[in-house]
Amino acid sequence: MSKTVLNIKVITVSDTRTQETDKSGNVLVDRVQAAGHSLLGKRIIPDDVYHLRAEVSAHIADPEVQVVLMTGGTGFTDRDNTHYAIAPLLETPIEGFGELFRQISFEEIGSSTIQSRAFAGLTNKTIIFCVPGSPGACATAWDKIIEAQLNSSHKPCNFVDKLVSDA
């Protein structure tokens, strides 16, 4: 069975990062490409509920986009709006993603992981993963959870059949 190539968008949520300083987004881009998926683009979006909803809603409505990887805006500061913006758009939350991310992250950063509101969900045949804005968190999320779940040959289950009709 050959691996299914998925179409993926990467979004960095930040009021301060530029393409040159976006290490977290670049971690995800590098890993998407190394895994053989199709990168449809990378954007930096201000940490604003309505900008985020508009951007992600457009990707959810676009039948070409199967995966949205978001980094940033998942903490507890006044400008961390990813959860407020994106959670209402999800038809089916994937509770286990946040739980597993925090469990794995605990081994790396200890109890500081409690301040992570990493989450994921499915909507309109699109999966959205929202992870913290550090390069380490992006690497952890991709390497230890996301990559396998976007690999059609990963058993006993993965999310590819929920994103692609003929997977």
Domain residue ranges of the chain, discontinuous segments joined by +: 7-163
d(CA 63, CA 43): 19
The answer to whether residues 126 and 68 touch, using CB atoms and an 8 Å cutoff, is yes
Which has the higher per-residue pLDDT, 79 or 121?
121
Whether residue 89 is predicted with pLDDT greater than 50 in this model: the reply is yes
- Give the pLDDT confidence score for residue 153 in this predicted structure: 93
Architecture in CATH for domain 7-163: 3-Layer(aba) Sandwich (3.40)
Query: Encoding tokens for residue 126?
Result: 């699109």
- In a 3-state reduction of DSSP, which class is residue 94? coil
Predicted structure pTM score: 0.95
Confidence band (pLDDT; 50, 70, 90) for 9?
A: very high
Whether residue 167 is predicted with pLDDT greater than 60 in this model: the reply is no
Closest among 95, 87, 79, 112 to 13, alpha carbons compared: 79
Indicate the average pLDDT of the chain. 94
Is residue 156 reached through a cis peptide bond, with omega within 30 degrees of 0 on the bond before it? yes
